[in-house]
């Protein structure tokens, strides 16, 4: 069920005229809560599911007790006695809650506002009397001394008096602009969501970047994550409908992690205020509140505050979530936006795997290294054109190290003939000479890359690369998490840039995060803060990031048109150049005798094709157009899968990439393509796939 799907309209209880018998039907109540934004009140309906629970508790007479009803998927609690809605996982002002039956239209935005519960009961009693006794034109006075007149079941009006008795000493009249009054929530066209699935399959913690605002509308991390969650519910219904119908899945819960308020509550803002110049006050305040977070993170003092806050908050949220959801058996993933992704990356690189996992990983590394050395022996024999002896060496369990220790007697004992023996011994002696020459001169070995000089080297570079990844990190005591994340998602992340600035030139392909086996780097093509990761793992190969498929199953039209025109222009250019080359060669070639023409016709065609071949290869489509011919090995950081994923820009964004650069950095919260990738990868770990695979996806 989608949280955005409106509730089916209930049969109107009070909108129709009473029947001949004067029948009265009680109004169906619905529960609302008041959300205050910029000093403006907005009444929002609870989902049909939550309103039903609240009404059930109210009908059971639990209002007089301090009963707490969880709502909004367990993220908010409603205290029935005090009529307050309180956030569970983060700090937020409590909201007023009402059991609503009667509404009037507001002055400013034409939204319907519920009357108080007490006055609604008075209105309902007057309405019941009017219906049963057929006595209309009734006047009621609200607590604010405003007049409500019940003309008939379809016409009920709220009059705002022009003057009050305090000003003129007169009683209120129905003068002033009338406002419509409605009975029952079904008559005010409110969009009521059905509610969220009760089953939670996976938990994701989301860490924000610099500053208190997370998007172009200056909203908090709580509001942005709410949008992300709502988009995920609609994507689940659109792309995982079969699994939902079979009750294989429920939903993914996203919880925000706020560290900015803790950092700026240390008193550093007061210290900055003393030294901040008075000119361009708003700009300086904005810089102190946002941009300086990057410098704070590079300070050992405040870096410790930030990592402690993020780790302790995620551990606290995890424990609280388990207390409220004792049957939860799913996994936990983490996501970070901008600087938040760097904080999470540094935390993950400093996590300690369990001792038994270290043993298994070392054993696996030794097995992998041994298998690699056996394969190297096969490659050597293939190079020496001695592939027929591979079975002999494999039977004797000969790896590269053992091969370089072999003598002629050993090879003879293995049954290798004299000729092949000489080839192998010559190869061994030549490699030893090359090694002696290379070790004689001082060599610079890059940390994090396996040695290429020692043929007996068995180190896979994991430990060395672990130190390399941590090179340049701020000196801090990185806390440990109480769980092992399944996947790490980075949105608009500067991780690659920070690693480069710290002095990390490349990441060892064998390196993986100690406790997290999945890593996805997702970015918008115009995001000025985002950097790639894969070129640091495979620096010698140029290749494009994976293009995220559109959530509706195809590339955006302007991208398809752009690629089609590019292919067309390249093909036309290649064909034109090829035709000109053939014409020029036929013009400059000397005439051949008639007898030789037939015999050399085949050769002429071969020459022509050979001449044309380089020209057709001279112009190739740009990298963004070419399809990947073979999979690229990007190491173990994401379990051997691709890491960098780029979103498709919208048509309007392609007109001016500079104009939409800031929007590109803040677009991830409402991006259906981003949310769908997150859901796809999370549910793939549980063996659940999309209803229909999207084109271009892995």
- From the list 171, 177, 118, 116, the residue with the least C-alpha distance to 145 is 171
Q: Any idea which residue has 């009402």 for tokens?
A: 98
Answer whether 258's CB lies under 8 Å from 89's CB: no
**DSSP three-state, residue 505:** coil
DSSP per-residue codes, 83-121: TEEEESSS----EEEEEE-EEEE-SSS--EEEPPHHHHH
Strand partners, 35: 42
Do 361 and 525 contact (CB within 8 A), yes or no? no
Q: How far apart (Å, rounded) are the C-alpha atoms in residues 675 and 685? A: 16
The phi and psi torsions of 46 (rounded to 5 degrees) equal -65, 160
Q: What is the CA radius of gyration of the chain?
A: 36
Distance CA(552)–CA(696), nearest Å, equals 12
Sign of the torsion angle spanned by Cα atoms 6, 684, 357, 503: negative
Exposure of 541 by Cβ count < 10 A (0-12 exposed, 13-18 middle, 19+ buried)?
exposed
- Tell me if 678 sits within 8 A of 517, measured CB to CB: no
C-alpha distances (whole Å) from 393 to each of 387, 403, 428 are 10, 9, 15
Please identify which of the residues 2, 47, 232, 338 carries the catalytic annotation: 338
In degrees to the nearest 10, what's the CA dihedral of 157, 158, 161, 165? 120
Q: Which of 450, 324, 438 is nearest to 376 (CA)?
A: 450
Mapping DSSP to helix (H, G, I), strand (E, B) and coil, where does residue 419 land?
helix
120: annotated active-site residue: no
Hey, which residues are catalytic here?
Answer: 338
């Amino acid at each position: 069920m989608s949280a955005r799907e409106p509730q089916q309209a209930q049969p109107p209880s009070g909108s129709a005229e009473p029947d001949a018998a004067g029948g009265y039907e009680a109004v169906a109540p619905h529960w609302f809560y008041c959300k205050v934004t910029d000093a403006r009140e907005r009444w929002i309906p609870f989902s049909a599911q939550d309103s039903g629970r609240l009404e059930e508790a109210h009908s059971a007479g639990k209002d007089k007790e301090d009963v707490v009803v969880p709502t909004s998927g367990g993220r908010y609690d409603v205290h029935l006695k005090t009529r307050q809605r309180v956030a569970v996982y983060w700090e937020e002002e409590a909201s007023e809650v009402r059991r609503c039956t009667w509404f009037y239209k507001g002055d400013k935005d034409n939204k319907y506002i519920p009357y108080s519960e007490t006055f609604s009961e008075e209105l309902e009693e007057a309405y019941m009397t009017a219906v049963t006794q057929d006595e209309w034109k009734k006047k009621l006075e609200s607590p604010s001394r405003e007049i409500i007149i019940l003309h008939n079941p379809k016409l009920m009006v709220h009059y705002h008096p022009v003057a009050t008795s305090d000003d003129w000493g007169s009683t209120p009249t129905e003068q002033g602009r009338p406002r419509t009054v409605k009975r029952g929530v079904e008559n005010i066209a409110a969009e009521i969501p059905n509610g969220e699935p009760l089953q939670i399959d996976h938990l994701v913690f989301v860490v924000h970047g610099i500053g208190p605002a997370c998007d172009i509308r200056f909203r908090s991390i709580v509001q942005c994550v709410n949008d992300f969650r709502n988009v995920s519910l609609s994507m689940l219904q659109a792309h995982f409908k079969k699994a939902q119908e079979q009750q294989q899945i429920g939903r993914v819960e996203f919880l925000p992690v706020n560290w900015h308020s803790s950092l700026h509550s240390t008193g550093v803002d007061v210290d900055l205020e003393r030294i901040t110049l008075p000119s361009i006050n708003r700009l300086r305040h904005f810089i102190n509140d946002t941009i300086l977070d990057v410098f704070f993170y590079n300070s050992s003092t405040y870096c410790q505050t930030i990592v402690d806050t993020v780790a302790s908050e995620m551990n606290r949220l995890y424990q609280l979530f388990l207390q409220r959801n004792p049957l939860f058996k799913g996994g936990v993933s983490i996501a970070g936006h901008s600087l938040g992704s760097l904080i999470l990356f540094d935390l993950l690189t400093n996590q300690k795997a369990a001792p038994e996992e270290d043993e298994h990983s070392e054993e696996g590394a030794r097995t992998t290294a041994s298998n690699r050395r056996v394969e190297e022996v096969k490659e050597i024999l293939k190079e020496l054109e001695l592939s027929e002896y591979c079975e002999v060496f494999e039977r004797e369990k000969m790896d590269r190290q053992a091969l370089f220790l072999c003598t002629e007697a050993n090879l003879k004992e293995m049954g290798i003939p004299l000729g092949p023996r000489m080839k192998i011994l010559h190869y061994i002696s030549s490699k030893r000479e090359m090694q002696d020459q290379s070790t004689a001169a001082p060599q610079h070995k890059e940390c994090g890359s396996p040695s290429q000089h020692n043929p007996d080297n068995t180190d896979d570079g994991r430990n060395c690369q672990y130190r390399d990844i941590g090179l340049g990190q701020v000196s801090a005591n990185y806390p440990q998490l109480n769980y092992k994340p399944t996947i790490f998602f980075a949105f608009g992340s500067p991780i690659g840039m920070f690693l480069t600035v710290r002095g990390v030139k490349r990441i060892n392909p064998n390196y993986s995060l100690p406790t997290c086996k999945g890593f996805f780097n997702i970015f918008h093509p115009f995001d000025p803060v985002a950097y790639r990761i894969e070129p640091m793992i495979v620096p010698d190969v140029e290749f494009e990031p994976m293009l995220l498929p559109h959530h509706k199953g195809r590339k955006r039209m302007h991208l398809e048109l752009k690629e089609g025109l590019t292919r067309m222009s390249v093909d036309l250019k290649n064909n034109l150049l090829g035709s000109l080359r053939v014409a020029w060669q036929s013009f400059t070639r000397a005439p051949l005798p008639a007898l030789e023409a037939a015999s050399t016709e085949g050769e002429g065609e071969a020459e022509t094709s050979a001449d044309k071949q380089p020209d057709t290869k001279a112009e190739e489509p740009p990298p963004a157009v070419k399809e990947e011919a073979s999979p690229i090995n990007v190491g173990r950081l994401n379990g051997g899968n691709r890491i960098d994923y780029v979103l498709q820009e919208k048509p309007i964004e392609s007109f001016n990439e500079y104009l939409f650069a800031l929007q590109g950095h803040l677009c991830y919260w409402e991006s259906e393509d981003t949310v769908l990738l997150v859901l796809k990868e999370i549910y793939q770990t549980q063996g659940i796939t999309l209803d229909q695979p999207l084109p271009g996806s892995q």
